[in-house]
Structure 1
């Protein structure tokens, strides 16, 4: 079964333009014909009777035609002229419609060619249409904006894959090096020390994998939502990290008001824990971390602030990307210094977005960071 040939948009526009013009011209010519018909027809009256007793002959028109025949000839000639004019104007309208439609569709053709180039893998291409701010330019600008977001997203995924590979390969390479040393000198191998080192490396690998799973889950969205107390999560996080805070000589101050929010309990708990842990680890001896939870104008507000090392504006822009640390990308800290896997704040950002919240980070003048998160109260999205 063969499909019928489809008319292009350009041809359909040209035919529509020609049909519209032909209808308008036909209406105008028809009006002219009716006016002429009305002017000529009253002039043709009945032939006066010839007296029978008169010897004078009736006047004969020079051309031998009666007035009725004259009017009929004029109307016939006018009708043929109108037909010719209608045909010529319709053909002209079709040609003009074809040209105008081509010029109007040229920007869309440019968008199509750009899309074809992008399909071949050239995400850097843009339409960059110039001209008046009409619907076509708006379409092209929207398309360019979409391409910019897609390119940034693909670049982010490629960078994320490279960083994740680096983070996962490092503990594997460390484990292999420990095993190679033990295999080279089995008699001199300290088995308890080897087991302790392998356990530590394995624990770090497990932390990275769990963090990646948390990040993927947060970016996937909320699956099971329930009403929870954000202050309760903050209170638990402060209790869990109290030992680490004491070890790092960081004092923690909290003001936690009961604030019910609706969301994924696991993700919200991870968000609060990551923020509190980050405030303690990225601090300095004798420093301070403060956590506040309150409600303000139908929003749950959580603020986590700490003293610490200065954070530049350039570092702040990338701080919530995966595998980014304020002290550099994909680099482990010492046992007591800022370490981690660089996914904590990325998870915080993903969880906040999944719960329709907002996140604002501001460097403190004396060092450290203040993170402000607002979430819809009782699940109300605003």
Structure 2
């Protein structure tokens, strides 16, 4: 884990980094009441939204710079580091004026490279810690690019926040967890601290503990959780905010797994199992290669007879059969469907490449 890096930035991260506070700063009393409660639990920094980018006009869009004064009061009274989201250069300038300890770039802003570059330019010459949330879509390149733009502006204390992605599918979460996205970013930028925002993934307070635990199981370095003294009266995202007491309970129950074990028996058994997985993967890739050779032969026949590459009826038959077979093998239907769609897309790509000479 990268918690030592966070400690070097002056942020508390023992045993795990915790950022907590209301979705929005609504009043001086609300901010201070929340901060006083959270100061007892060792959060890494106190978060509160000052400017709120809303989907439609007319919703509560934040209190603006007045809330920065309240955050300064939080720091003076509790000793907590304080931070907020920035979406444009004017926000950055106001935060620097009020000496915010931490900033983050929101998902809607990360989606727009022009906005990220403007923020990076405004931060040039400073080195305040900046976290970048993933974009609304499952686009790792956009996320990576946002971090690179900030790094190119001279910022060295950079972190990432995973908050899930928008999905057209009906599901229990507000945003799809899409864990492969942060896992891939951790592979590409292993030195970057990775924080999970289960509040925005879940959208419902009762779902947050499970997602928070899953993030820890995936070796995230910390959590950013929305906490409000009275969530039912919150002016934004009321359903996904915890009370301080609920937050404390979540943290007390959180399990923090280690990447490795010192048990010799564990190491030996795991080595054997991994060898088995490696062998199965090798055989699987060989079978996929043979499948692609076969579909390319099929593609040549289609081309010779001027038959379309896509065969909708055949594809429907394949998918129905493989889903049925997957159920017999106790494989999740969504996994089998995603796997077969990937295989089918690659088969079409290879057939078309041969057909049009790419």
- Interval containing the TM-score (normalised by the shorter chain): under 0.3
Q: Bigger radius of gyration, 1 or 2?
A: 1
The TM-score normalised by the length of structure 2 is 0.19
The TM-score normalised by the length of structure 1 is 0.18
